[in-house]
Structure 1
Amino acid sequence: MQAGFGTRRGNAAETWRRKVARRLIAAEEKLCLRLSRELHDDLGQMLASVALELHTIRMESQDMDQRLTRAAMLVDQLSAKVHDAAWSLRPADLDHAGLRASVEDLATMLCSQLDIPCDMDLAALSYILIPESALTVYRVAQEALTNIGKHARPSRVSVTAHVHDHRLRLTIEDDGLGFDGHVAPGSHHLGLAGVRERLASIGGELSIETAKGKGTTIYADVPLMD
């Protein structure tokens, strides 16, 4: 009886912990969505107007041409950074194009930047997930691909998704530098800890296979809707 009571109490505590974690993540994403919209709609539009004015003045002025050219260039660069920041806070494509297209865009962009081949099989991402799960899977892909671009130096990348036993598995693999999976992660892997917590909050799991010089494979498992 005591063991059974302890198990029930432990299960209740774990359920409560997951519920709190999900609420915190939902609140964080709601804030990110608001900030993203403000960056894109307000600041982005203002920067676009300033850039247009500078380009117009530059075309009409010969005396200040060099300074105006530099100012216009800086505004264009700032506009691009605002766009990137808004997109990172809350990817608009996820709401409009869906999870599959959004992850495909991430992988295509990375492999294009690195000029390497990318194997993709993401048809399983067309399965209907609750918004929270879809966003979590996207964040996994975003974090893993960002780390690959910054640190892995791969010659190829593979991004696939499959469904088995009523669970969706996203697999991201590279043949790059890898790292020692038996030691505490470095600062550039700390984002994976946040991803792991996000997955746990929705009943998912993250596992990593890696070794120095042997590349890295990341598995993210997410339960499907009943």
Structure 2
Amino acid sequence: ADACFVHVVDRDTAEVVLMGATPDQFDALAGTIRLPMGEGISGWVAQHGRRAVVEDKWSDPRYRYIPELRGEEFSSLVSVPMLRPGAAVVGVLNVHAHDPRHFGPDTVTRLEEVASLVAGLVEGAVLHARLQRREADLEAFAVRTIELQELDRRRIAGDIHDGISQRLVSAWYHLRAAMAITVEPAVEEQLAVTAALLSEALEDSRRAITGLRPALLDDLGLSAAITSVAGSLGDVEVAVDLAECDLAPHVETALFRIAQETLQNVVKHADASRVEVTLAPDGDAVVLTVSDDGAGFDPSTAGGLTTFGLASMHERASLLGATLLVTSSPGEGTSIAVRVPADRTISEA
């Protein structure tokens, strides 16, 4: 034999794909030569699961000339299927010779035995490659989903800034003007109360805009953004210990949103006096933990899932391929830990 080609069956695309060859000059073409199932001799063997012994390929109507494989240098070939239990074809083994009628019955039998032996290895390699592709697709889906979520938040922040906030400011100035000309003490008192309410509403809108897209996350990164949110909790004592971790941008965004949601829950629901926030490598993962000494709750209840935003946290963690563990009980505080596998955290920058 003068050349050997190994093709694998790609079930996702219904093609046979060249994955290895000798001499080495052909091996460099691995992954670049594809044939639809049923096309060419390799495609025919893959589709039918039967061998093809071709004494003169130029006279065989199934043969398809591929310039990169230099078919003009070879006259005869044997193509045998790589079969797994259940007669599933996982690949095709092709052996070419310069001379016509080169392959005898014994040679063909030995080639079929070799194909049967390597079929398991080929199937394992195909499954591994498919898994890698699907993991890459999942990662791309997670990145795109988080990007779209952030774009939507930016749009909402812009709408609040250009719409609601501007109207609140305009109303506040009109109210101040009314206060300047009123002579009735009772009316002046009510206008003052209304002005105070408008000021609070304007401050709420500013906080909402900052929360929807904090500039610190873009400018200074995850640690600075979480520290800023933690520092805005009012009377709650906050301890922050955030290690510098090399995280991909979409991972930083998702972890920030989980930390932000958790810290907001502390203020709204926990009645806590102290909060601890940590971010650190832990073996083959990076772990974000937010713990408080507040009222706690029962995380197994449906009310807990909706009231405290745990459903959205679980969704964000799931996009990262991460796990989210909630530890809490009434009167015992709450701890939320997000564990992101190291292979999902590495920055591509």
TM-score (norm 1): 0.77
Cα distance in 1, alignment partners of residues 192 and 299 from structure 2: 49
- Check if 1:208 corresponds to 2:326: yes
Aligned residue number for residue 111 of structure 2: none
Q: 1:75 aligns with which of 191, 198, 206?
A: 198
Amino acid paired to 2:286:
L
Supply the RMSD in Å over aligned alpha carbons.
3.1
2: CA distance, partners of 1:178 / 1:66: 41
- The answer to whether the aligner puts 1:158 opposite 2:276 as a matched pair is yes
Instruction: Report the Cα distance in structure 1 between the residues aligned to 2:271 and 2:300, rounded to whole angstroms.
Output: 21
Distance, in Å, in 1 between the alignment partners of 2:200 and 2:274 is: 30
Q: Secondary structure at the match of 1:193?
A: helix
Higher helix share: 1
Structure 1 residue 21 displacement after superposition: 4.2
Structure 1 position 36, deviation (Å): 0.3
CA distance in 2, matches of 1:103, 1:80: 20
The 2-side partners of 1:8 and 1:203 are apart by 19
State the identity %: 32
Task: Indicate which of 81, 84, 91 corresponds to 2:207.
Answer: 84
CA distances 1:180-213 after superposition (whole Å, capped 9, x unpaired): 4555544224x22322222332343322233444
Partner of 2:254: 136
Q: Does 1:118 align with 2:233?
A: no
> Aligned residue for 1:52?
173
Can you give the 5+ residue segments of structure 2 that lack an aligned partner in the other structure? 1-119
Counterpart Cα distance in 2 of 1:8 and 1:97: 37
Find the aligned partners of 1:39 and 1:182 in 2 and give their Cα distance: 36
Cα distance in 2 between the residues matched to 1:182 and 1:192: 11
Larger radius of gyration: 2
1:47 is aligned with what amino acid?
A: L
Q: CA deviation at 1:32?
A: 1.1
Aligned counterparts of 1:119 and 1:57: Cα–Cα separation in 2: 46
Of residues 157, 164, 178 in structure 2, which corresponds to 1:43? 164
Q: Secondary structure at the match of 2:335?
A: strand
Q: Is the 8 A contact 1:177 1:213 kept in 2?
A: yes
Distance 1:92 1:41, change over 3 A: farther
Unaligned runs of 5+ in 1: none
- Gap change, CA 1:43 and 1:96, over 3 Å in 2: farther
Q: Could you say which residue in structure 2 is the equivalent of 1:98?
A: 221
Query: Where is the strand percentage greater, Structure 1 or Structure 2?
Result: 2
CA 1:66–1:181 in 2, change beyond 3 Å: closer, same or farther? closer
- Does structure 2 retain, via aligned residues, the 8 Å contact 1:167–1:224? no
The 3 A distance-change label for structure 1 pair 138 and 194 is same
Pick one of 19, 23, 31 that aligns with 2:140.
Answer: 19
SS in structure 2 at match of 1:62: coil
Which residue pairs with 1:187 in the alignment? 306
Q: Are the structure 2 counterparts of residues 15 and 180 from structure 1 closer, same or farther at C-alpha, using a change threshold of 3 Å?
A: farther
Partner residue in 1 for 2:61: none
1:33, distance to aligned residue in structure 2 (A): 0.5
What secondary structure does 2:158 align onto?
helix
Is structure 2 residue 343 aligned with structure 1 residue 225?
Answer: no
How many residues are aligned here?
220
**C-alpha distance in 2, partners of 1:83/1:170?**
27
Match of 2:267 in 1: 149
**Residues 27-61 of structure 1, C-alpha deviations (whole Å, 9 max, x = no match):** 12201102202312443234223313322342243
